[in-house]
Chain A
Amino acid sequence: MTIEKNVCENAAEIKLSGWLDTQTAPELDAEISALGEEITALTLDFEKLEYISSAGLRLIVAAYKKMNGALTLRNVSDEIMSVIKMTGLDKRITIA
């Protein structure tokens, strides 16, 4: 998995590509933890994400909490969407 992070004032955008599974989840976890207090909104771009497991979903929930709900998922493919729907995350998280 590769992670591409862009920070612009108070907002951050992370572009993910490849597999976000139990093995790679800690990398994303580290990136999100590294975000400073000033960041109040996070956008995750899943355009090039091929795979997500519950480890990834857990990070999404954690990020959602950290941003106090200001988390947006962008460019979610049907395949990833079906996994998100399986756990009901789509009910709370903004998916653009």
Chain B
Amino acid sequence: MNKRSIRRWITLCFTVILILSLAVTAAWNYYHTYSHILEESRDAAESCASLVRYSLDSWDIDALMHASDDEQYRQERSTLRALSRSFDFEYLYIYTVDPETEVRHFLFCVASDDDKENVVLRERYLGAVADEPLDKWEKAMLAGERKMQMGKVSTQYGDDITWLVPYTEGDGPLLAVIGMDHSIAVENAKILKDFLFALIPVVLSLTMGLLVLLILLRRRILRPIHALSESMSRFARDSSVKPEPIGIRTQDEIGEIAASYEKMTSDIVAYVNNIEALTKERVETNVQLDVARRIQYGLVPEKTSLDGDGFTLRAMTQPAKAVGGDFYDCFHRDDNKVCAVLGDVSGKGISAAIFMAMAKTMIHEKLMAGLSPSETLNQVNDALCAQNPEGLFATAFAVVLDPVTGRMCYANAGHTPPVLIGEVSRFLHPDSGIALGLFEDAGIVDGSLDLLPGEGILLYTDGVTEAVSPERALFGEARLLEELAHFPASPDAAQESIRTVKEAVERFTEGGEPFDDTAILALFRTAGDAWKPIPVALSSFDEVKKAVFAEIGETAEARKILLACDETLTNIVSYSGASELTYCCTKEGDTLRIGFRDNGTAFDPTAPRAMETDFDMLDMGGMGIGIVRETASSMEYARRDDRNVLFLCFRL
């Protein structure tokens, strides 16, 4: 938009106002002047007519018609001419109208102007006849009209305002008509002169007034507004820089606007700078949290399940709005034990996420290497203490479960006490060491207990016990134990226990702050229903054979595996004196695990013994165990409940 458009618009308005005012004034003036001039003309005509009538009274019109050009006539004419001049008439004339023939006969005709006088003397002499048809006023007069008539007439003598006055004696017939002409040109000139005289001061004063108004407008309003507008558009382009002061210090509304504008811009500049700083900070925080969240999600999936013979494990994290430091880990160790870890890192953000990653990775590696939970946590603590500039720390609970024997070894580094779920659930209160990363000597020790089939352990972070209800009450340990008190044993126990806790906490927090930022892990020992009883007889080998073929097909590899089974079974049947035998065959990933459980005399085929047997004694036996050891990838043996439990593992 044009910057000067307001000024232009105002100027245009002023011009229109000026023209309209002038037009109205002119019309008004013209009307008045015209009426006035016409009034003057009428007055002159009436006065002149009464004087002429007075003269006519003393004349004998018939005699005059025949008097011709005598002295008296000339005197009368000059009198009439003086009269005509004094009333400013162009022409003054007297004529008779013959009612029969409707012919005019001129008695007198005088002109004020000398040149015109000569013309009329020649053309409108005494007795001159004018036989043009009578006009409407003359006809009206013949018919008895006695009032003065006015008309605008064009003749060979020019355009005139003509006044016609009937001359009679009393109520008698029309004797003569007195005509008086005012020249329209002269009258118009008079009207124009008067009109202009009246108009000029109006025009001048109006123009002057408008000019003064315009100048004032420009100085007091347009110029400040222009300056404001320029400043505003500069400010709109870059609102972070405070504009130069405009310098309007008037006390009027414009001054107020300018003052408000200056205050507003300085406020806006402050806000904008403030917002920019805040936004920058928030972006940085968000980037940090995003990175941390990626690290966390990469390391800790939302849901995990791990199943194996004799155990089932479920874990979940409730994704937190902000990044939490909860983590868990679970895996199958090569010695066929299950490891589970659950922990909570203090603090949030990238450093906490990295600390968590370090702690989780180190715990995993050390447990995997076969270290006990306490050895693992103590060593990880030492490593974390050695490189912990931010003073972060993590609580953690580590469990190693032998699903065959049910022996569970655990260690606690300052973590919330886990719940032991069974016939009668209870909190497990192990000797707790100090959280990881705080002190060199965390004093973490191992604890152990035997899980019966159907029993399990539930690890959780304080997000559960510290969940807050809308009434600001804590969920607490008592409530947690109550929820898990009579937990029915089932194959889905691990999944069910997590669901129970999660739903209980969700009910508890409903309507308040959402329940998040927590991790729960449940590890249950299952009854191991994969075990199948078989007769204590060599013929049972056929069933094992079927099972193995069913798992991996009739291959050379299957025959090799069956060789180990054959030898084991032969040993049990031939030498153990067992009366009861069960076996299981499961494939987990690339490993085939075959287990035998018998109630015979204790015999550990994994125990070290002299392998070199004399050839000559070979036909007496002793080759079987050697073949089994050669063939199996790994062997596990346990004596439990007065039974031999042997697992043969084959890497496929």
A interface residues (Cβ-Cβ under 8 A, vs B): 21-23, 50-51, 53-55, 57-59, 61-62, 65, 79, 82-83, 86-89, 91-92
Do A87 and B563 have beta carbons less than 8 Å apart? Answer: no
Chain A CB within 8 A of B652 CB: no
Contacting A54 at CB < 8 Å: which of B538, B560, B567, B616? B567
| Closest-CB distance, B536 to chain A (whole angstroms) | 13
Once the chains are docked, how many angstroms separate the CA of A65 from the CA of B538? 26
A86-B630 CB under 8 A given contacts A21-B566, A55-B570, A62-B619: yes
Chain A CB within 8 A of B556 CB: yes
CB neighbors of A among B528-559 (8 A): 538-539, 541-542, 556, 559
Chain A proximity mask over B597-627: 1 for CB below 8 Å, otherwise 0: 0000000000000000001101111011011
A87-B556 CB under 8 A given contacts A22-B538, A22-B541, A92-B615: no
A22-B559 CB under 8 A given contacts A54-B623, A58-B621: no
Do A83 and B538 have beta carbons less than 8 Å apart? Answer: no
Chain A CB within 8 A of B562 CB: yes
Which secondary structure dominates chain B's binding surface? helix
A51-B615 CB under 8 A given contacts A22-B541, A23-B538: no
Do A54 and B624 have beta carbons less than 8 Å apart? Answer: yes
Do A58 and B559 have beta carbons less than 8 Å apart? Answer: no
Do A21 and B541 have beta carbons less than 8 Å apart? Answer: yes
Do B618 and A58 have beta carbons less than 8 Å apart? Answer: yes
A57-B563 CB under 8 A given contacts A23-B541, A87-B627: no
Do A51 and B562 have beta carbons less than 8 Å apart? Answer: yes
Do A50 and B559 have beta carbons less than 8 Å apart? Answer: yes
Contacting B567 at CB < 8 Å: which of A50, A53, A62, A89? A53
Given pairs A57-B623, A88-B615, 14 additional interface contacts (CB within 8 A): A22-B569, A51-B563, A53-B627, A58-B620, A61-B618, A61-B619, A65-B616, A83-B627, A86-B626, A86-B630, A86-B631, A87-B618, A87-B627, A89-B615
For residue A88, which residue of chain B has the nearest CB?
B615
For B618, the chain A residues whose CB sits under 8 A away are: 57-58, 61, 87, 89
For A88, the chain B residues whose CB sits under 8 A away are: 615
A-B contacts, 26 of them at CB < 8 A, read A21-B541, A21-B566, A22-B538, A22-B570, A23-B538, A23-B541, A23-B542, A51-B563, A53-B566, A53-B624, A53-B627, A54-B570, A54-B621, A54-B624, A57-B618, A58-B618, A58-B621, A58-B623, A59-B619, A61-B615, A79-B556, A82-B560, A83-B563, A86-B627, A86-B631, A87-B626
For A58, the chain B residues whose CB sits under 8 A away are: 618-621, 623
